[in-house]
Structure 1
């Protein structure tokens, strides 16, 4: 990871918090409570989304691409996407049609994730690699192409795996 002090410290803090929640044993099952893990993955997805928004703001017609700054955001996205599928243990498969949900601690993940977890894992891994490639792009046009592909991957994954009801 390149030395980007501000983003690096935020990323480290998020990952430490996420891993702390995910690793904290509950008294009953030696596993973190499912709601804590769901909350953690929402925090991680929020950080991915924030970094993607920063990049897309720079790439907008009225934006100004600062390639090094944009690459930093892409590297953070790559790292978080590597960790993301690990926040979907089977106990967090709690979707119930029509249930009233707490947006912070209840899942909006499609139960199909767990019936074909290897595909979900592969999608996250491929998106992480695209973000990594963007973080290493030598030219703005190369960066733009990688981010366009990343956005398509994100949207495709959300279309299949995110319940919106």
Structure 2
């Protein structure tokens, strides 16, 4: 899973992100490029049309609407089916769950994720969508920088953390 969140856990409001952090956009692109990405329909809808589908990635959209379709996207009825669809795509490497809040929570509840790459932004914002709580069994593996904050060209302070599910917590494999 991969997301950016404000210090108070907000990841969005009204289908939009509440900050402009080009360094994080570049990190997201480098991390997910060449791999399947799984997102909810609202996340798909929130992407600017010129970025739909996200280039150089298999775009899998989770929606309960069986009639939904979009050029360049594979529809899945649940996060579980989205992962199954991603496993059937060419290439190797990680499958990235990119949002939104409900998709993250469902993936965690089903234990379908073993890594969370989180960009923490050093600000509080008002929002209506929140990052999931990783909870028991997740350990911080690394942080860049190791302590403190990076400072973006626009002055925004941020850091990128990689969290992994501990072996003791278990992981359901498909």
**TM-score normalised by length of structure 1:** 0.29
Q: Which has the larger radius of gyration?
A: 1
Higher strand share: 2
**TM-score normalised by length of structure 2:** 0.28
Higher relative contact order (CA 8 A, sep 6+): 2
Higher helix share: 1
